[in-house]
Structure 1
Amino acid sequence: MLGIGTSACLMAGLKAVVAWNPHDHLPVMNGAMYAIGGLGAVATGTPIAWALGLTTWRMLFVVVAALILLVVLALFALVPEKNEQHPKSTLRAQLHDIGGIFRSAIFWRTAPFVMASQGVFLGVQGLWAGPYLQDVSRLPAVASANIVALIGLAMVLGAVGSGWLARRLQQRGISLHITAGAGMFLFMLAQLLILLDVALPMWMLWSMYGLFGTSGILTYAALVREFPAHLAGRVSTGLTLAIFAGAFVVQYGFGLLLNTWPHAGGGYAVVAHQVSWAISLGVQLVAGVWFCRPLRGLTARAVSQPA
């Protein structure tokens, strides 16, 4: 139920951004929405650790549910509807359009890299960053929670900053495709530096992880432009499906790998963490090479032959 509710919230937000803003504002607005959402990720670190010293998990869920209810009421009462004119279509036609999206070359040139990059970011930040910090970096629980909170703050800055930068670079002739790809490769570099335990402050390494971890969201704005306007929500949904599938694979796959090696004392083997990160980096590299293929001809096929 939590997953269903979150997915509806995310896709409604992405569709609202497309409906209310011109295309050249999409990188900034998508980044702002993710940044605001990222504040929730910040709460999973130090604030939650502090709150659990005062109350229970159940009470925290009650408080969060009450806050969400207030937001829902505000949406109904304060936010105006957008009167969009979309062509009427049958369910069969809508399924045909979705099939066209998933068959388009431009979508499958983009989706694998975003799936791998964002899947790793969400999967590790949401589940495996804490165990890595405690098992590999030997940090106590409170210190690892602080680092997780720092990742969330860096993610907020990265989401807003990447959208702002992408728009400025677009005005200078540098495409969203190039900016998003560069950001995802920098995210890979941050992972490699952490894996190699380079002689840099830990807060700096993990800040880089959070700062570049959301670079893949720039591809939302790039993909939406390649399809008719009435398909914007379905294009975003398709890419989000790929991202969360990647996050599931990372969370579940890391667990399988970590349990392959013997572990004692409540932690996992250091080599198990290292192998998991190395494999995920290899997958991202392969997807990144695929992403860097020439774009010539792909855009025209995506728009003129969506089905």
Structure 2
Amino acid sequence: MGQCAQFSTLLIGRLLLGIGTSACLMAGLKAVVAWNPHDHLPVMNGAMYAIGGLGAVATGTPIAWALGLTTWRMLFVVVAALILLVVLALFALVPEKNEQHPKSTLRAQLHDIGGIFRSAIFWRTAPFVMASQGVFLGVQGLWAGPYLQDVSRLPAVASANIVALIGLAMVLGAVGSGWLARRLQQRGISLHITAGAGMFLFMLAQLLILLDVALPMWMLWSMYGLFGTSGILTYAALVREFPAHLAGRVSTGLTLAIFAGAFVVQYGFGLLLNTWPHAGGGYAVVAHQVSWAISLGVQLVAGVWFCRPLRGLTARAVSQPA
């Protein structure tokens, strides 16, 4: 990315970034399952997302500050060097986990994946998580800044500060939701209920922002970041419904749905925002409002689907051939 001279090489760089970061996420989720008992998964998944969320913090104020000292090309070079150091540390310091799972052919693995995607329990959960996490990642990663500048009329620096605040709230939310979910489980409240409540609270945060209620902006966007990662609790909930050797594939399937949702949000918002004439160098306020209203409607429909009773779904999911 730091050496891109034309759009085609920039596009290739973005593609490689996507492939690499998705592999990092899946490796982290698989490692959490491999090294921890099931009752620790919400906390450990939350901790992993929190660490990743520190990168989201850097996309706000720290990046804005760094661009005053150097160029975005040099920033990519520095980040690449830091990632290389982390990779070397992983190879040198992290022990291997020797799991005793029977080896399977490619055909058997594809059959397992097909069983996951045919299971009722997976599709009872995936749409709401796809919509919720897709909106959070899509807006935080691309459209929060334009919304803050076009609708809230914030200058660029103040907008970057809010984006950084979203990242900090995301870190706290990821750790806090995992801790809370484990405590609630000990009192008989399932992960499914806790995750669903968090995703509905995330919808409430979006609605309050959209309606421009009389609350401090930092509070509204902190709520957005705090509840935006609630969907990650469903990873631990879904893994329990499938055989242990399918944990990585279950997580991969859910992550695929989330990233697909984020792509649809980023691309779809772009189409909608460009439907209205641009105003003053930015997007029309009504375009932002319509985009948010549509995304909230999709989340509401998916949330109603998510709230269906679990009875009869778990057995069908587990009984898929492995």
CA distance in 1, matches of 2:272, 2:319: 44
Pairing partner for 1:132 from 142, 147, 151: 147
**1:184 equivalenced with 2:199 (yes/no):** yes
Q: CA deviation at 1:265?
A: 2.3
How big is each residue's C-alpha offset from its partner over 1:36-88, in whole Å with a ceiling of 9 and x where there is no partner? Answer: 00000000000000000000111101110111011001100000000001111
Q: Which runs of 4+ in 1 moved over 6 A?
A: none
Is the contact between residue 116 and residue 320 of structure 2 (CA under 8 Å) also seen in structure 1?
no
**1:5 equivalenced with 2:20 (yes/no):** yes
The answer for the alignment partner of 1:244 in structure 2 is 259
CA distance in 2, matches of 1:27, 1:181: 14
Unaligned runs of 5+ in 1: none
Aligned residues: 307
How big is each residue's C-alpha offset from its partner over 1:171-212, in whole Å with a ceiling of 9 and x where there is no partner? Answer: 000000000000000000000000000000000000000000
Is the contact between residue 138 and residue 263 of structure 2 (CA under 8 Å) also seen in structure 1?
yes
CA distance in 2, matches of 1:290, 1:219: 15
CA distance in 2, matches of 1:34, 1:72: 18
How big is each residue's C-alpha offset from its partner over 1:74-104, in whole Å with a ceiling of 9 and x where there is no partner? Answer: 1000000000011111110000000000000
How big is each residue's C-alpha offset from its partner over 1:240-268, in whole Å with a ceiling of 9 and x where there is no partner? Answer: 00000000000000000000001132200
Q: CA deviation at 1:304?
A: 1.7
Pairing partner for 2:239 from 212, 224, 228: 224
The answer for the alignment partner of 2:89 in structure 1 is 74
- Equivalent pairs: percent with the same residue? 100
CA distance in 2, matches of 1:115, 1:67: 31
Q: CA deviation at 1:306?
A: 4.5
Is the contact between residue 239 and residue 250 of structure 2 (CA under 8 Å) also seen in structure 1?
yes
The answer for the alignment partner of 2:321 in structure 1 is 306
Is the contact between residue 227 and residue 306 of structure 1 (CA under 8 Å) also seen in structure 2?
no
Pair 1:70–1:172, CA change in 2 (3 A): same
Is the contact between residue 104 and residue 306 of structure 1 (CA under 8 Å) also seen in structure 2?
no
The root-mean-square deviation of aligned C-alpha atoms, in Å, is 0.6
SS of 1:299's partner is helix
Unaligned runs of 5+ in 2: 1-15
Pair 1:306–1:226, CA change in 2 (3 A): farther
Is the contact between residue 13 and residue 33 of structure 1 (CA under 8 Å) also seen in structure 2?
yes
The TM-score normalised by the length of structure 1 is 0.99
How big is each residue's C-alpha offset from its partner over 1:257-284, in whole Å with a ceiling of 9 and x where there is no partner? Answer: 0000011322000000000000000000
CA distance in 2, matches of 1:251, 1:199: 28
